[in-house]
């Protein structure tokens, strides 16, 4: 048995989809343990391009099994659409994808509530993906949520739905009468229910089964540590725990069974939506990173905010996740950028902060203290060995390792699977 958690260590979109797909050929099972269809994981191989939202990226590796764990919030309509999309592209999903019966569902009123809260928040809005994620997790913790098992059983589901509609109706008037909103939920209920039945399993049993059968299990986070509801830039976060600790809660894997953690990190920083971003570049360089890195949301298409690498935030994430290993992505996007800057601490007034602060006012006002490094020229794409990289690119990689306190198992130099250099032969999941 061997388990590996692949977790984002910035504000999401680090390239988790690419890395999970690359490592997925060594896995028997790939598990998503939190988030929902707010995620957008891009996988490019053999000239094909996929963006996955709910289904683990392992589905694109023939023969692998995939689980949507109990910690995920599942929009049945979005899941149906994603399965249809994959099957149309000749990816067999039936018999390979499983869904934990204790995962909670997102229904149309969760999406409405998400929009309502965002629109009512004015300047304080979070910039959510409007997929209903926060309201569905609120219901889960508030004990009014509806799980897949409940959704599949009409005699359980109907009274739960009525109770939720009664509770939320006063807020939902903008989206129609209670009757109309009920009809939105029920219109495709019967068809979706029959569609889902064959996929549904007891999630923890599925995970124990894999572990006991000595399978290799990969856990794929959505979002990233700085968007974690406990360890991120609260309240500008998502409503779940992407951190490695979330694996146990979101899948049923026991804490003692996590063997290793790999953090995925971009060579610079991006963030979509609102919230603190100490190293943000609001100038031409930020725009140039956005264009060259194609930094537009894989789910909502929104332009991503871009900035320098923030070693304070990543070091915080490396510790929380216990990620001994990192995969560095998008180094190619820094080609020709000179000098390259990395935030190594923050300044507030005349105080120096070496750790990421929890105070939201500090998060929004800290000034990064940068270390400058010489940039590298020329194209590095297509390079297959670390020694081929320009000396300044190698220096940058080494400096980041020291600053964040973890080792790079691999460096990615392009979007497709092949454009990856393996740096450390001791990495147990070396492709
Ligand atoms: P995820 O949410 O963490 O899976 O990341 P996204 O798929 O949302 O965003 C990462 C983007 O960067 C995608 O468009 C990837 O195709 C792309 N990408 C991943 N690795 C690299 C890389 O090393 N270089 C470049 N140029 N693009 C990359
Ligand atoms: P992947 O898995 C980047 C952001 C949203 C918003 C905040 C809350 O592709 O890395 P939510 O809809 O979750 O309530 O929005 O979180 N966000 C992401 N940002 N990548 C993601 O997923 C994200 N999922 C949510 O932009 O700021
Ligand atoms: Mg993404």
Pick from 427, 17, 26, 410: nearest CA to 218: 26
The response to whether residue 332 sits with its C-beta less than 6 Å from ligand 1 reads yes
- Residue of the CA atom closest to atom 14 of ligand 1: 42
From 21, 28, 41, 110, the catalytic residue: 41
Distance, in Å, from the CA atom of 135 to the CA atom of 38, rounded to the nearest integer, reads 13
Q: Is 295 in the pocket of ligand 1 (CB under 6 A)?
A: no
Q: What is the pTM of this model?
A: 0.98
Our CA dihedral for 128, 226, 269, 353, rounded to 10 degrees, sits at 130
pLDDT tens, residue order, the chain (431 aa):
599 999 999 999 999 999 999 999 999 999 999 999 999 999 999 999 999 999 999 999 999 999 999 999 999 999 999 999 999 999 999 999 999 999 999 999 999 999 999 999 998 899 999 999 999 999 999 999 999 999 999 999 999 999 999 999 889 988 888 899 999 999 999 999 999 999 999 999 999 999 999 999 999 999 999 999 999 999 999 999 999 999 999 999 999 999 999 999 999 999 999 999 999 999 999 999 999 999 999 888 999 999 999 999 999 999 999 999 999 999 999 999 999 999 999 999 999 999 999 999 999 999 999 999 999 999 999 999 999 999 999 999 999 999 999 999 999 999 998 899 999 889 999 98
Find tokens 């100490």 and name the residue.
Answer: 278
| Closest by Cα among 320, 325, 281, 329 to 41 | 329
Residues 6+ apart with CB under 8 A from 397: 328, 331, 389, 408, 411, 423
> Does 41 participate in catalysis according to the annotation?
yes
Cβ of residue 4 lying under 6 Å from some atom of ligand 2: no
Is ligand 1 within 6 A of the CB of residue 35?
no
Q: Which atom of ligand 2 approaches the CA of 14 most closely?
A: 10
Say which residues have a Cβ less than 8 Å from residue 359's Cβ, sequence separation at least 6.
Answer: none
For residue 42, report the distance from its CA to the centre of ligand 1, in Å. Answer: 6
């Amino acid at each position: 048995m061997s388990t590996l958690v692949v977790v984002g260590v910035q504000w999401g979109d680090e390239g988790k989809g690419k890395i999970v797909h690359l490592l997925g050929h060594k896995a028997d099972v790939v598990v998503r343990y939190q988030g929902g269809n707010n995620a957008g994981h891009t996988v490019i191989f053999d000239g094909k391009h996929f963006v996955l939202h709910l289904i683990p990226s392992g589905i694109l590796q023939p023969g692998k099994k995939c689980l949507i764990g109990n910690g995920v919030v599942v929009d049945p309509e979005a899941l149906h659409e994603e399965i249809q999309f994959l099957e149309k592209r000749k990816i067999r999903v039936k018999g390979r994808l499983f869904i934990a019966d204790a995962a909670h569902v997102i229904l149309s009123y969760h999406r409405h509530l998400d929009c309502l809260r965002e629109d009512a928040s004015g300047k304080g809005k979070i910039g959510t993906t409007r997929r209903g994620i926060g309201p569905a997790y609120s219901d889960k913790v508030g004990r009014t949520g509806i799980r897949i098992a409940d959704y599949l059983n009409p005699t359980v589901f109907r009274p739960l739905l009525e109770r939720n509609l009664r509770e939320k109706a006063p807020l939902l008037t903008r989206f129609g009468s209670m009757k109309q909103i009920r009809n939105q939920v029920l219109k495709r209920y019967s068809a979706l229910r029959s569609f889902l039945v064959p996929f549904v399993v007891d999630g923890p049993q599925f995970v124990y089964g894999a572990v006991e059968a000595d399978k290799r299990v990969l856990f794929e986070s959505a979002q990233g540590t700085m968007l974690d509801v406990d360890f991120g830039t609260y309240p500008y976060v998502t409503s779940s725990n992407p951190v490695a600790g979330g694996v146990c809660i979101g899948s049923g894997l026991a804490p003692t069974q996590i063997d290793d953690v790999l953090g995925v990190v971009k060579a610079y920083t991006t963030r979509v939506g609102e919230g603190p971003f100490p190293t943000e570049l609001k100038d031409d360089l930020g725009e140039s990173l956005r264009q060259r890195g194609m930094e537009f949301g894989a789910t909502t298409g929104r332009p991503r905010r871009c900035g320098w690498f923030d070693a304070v935030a990543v070091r915080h994430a490396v510790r929380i996740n216990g990620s001994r290993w990192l995969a560095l992505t998008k180094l190619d996007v820094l080609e020709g950028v000179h000098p390259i800057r990395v935030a190594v601490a923050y300044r507030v007034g005349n105080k120096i902060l070496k750790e990421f602060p929890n105070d939201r006012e500090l998060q929004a006002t800290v000034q990064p203290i940068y270390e400058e490094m010489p940039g590298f020229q020329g194209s590095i794409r297509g390079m297959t060995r670390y020694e081929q990289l320009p000396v300044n690119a190698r220096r940058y990689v080494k400096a980041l390792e020291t600053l964040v306190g973890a080792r790079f198992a691999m460096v990615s130099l392009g979007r497709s699977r092949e454009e990856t250099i393996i740096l450390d032969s001791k990495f147990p999941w070396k492709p």
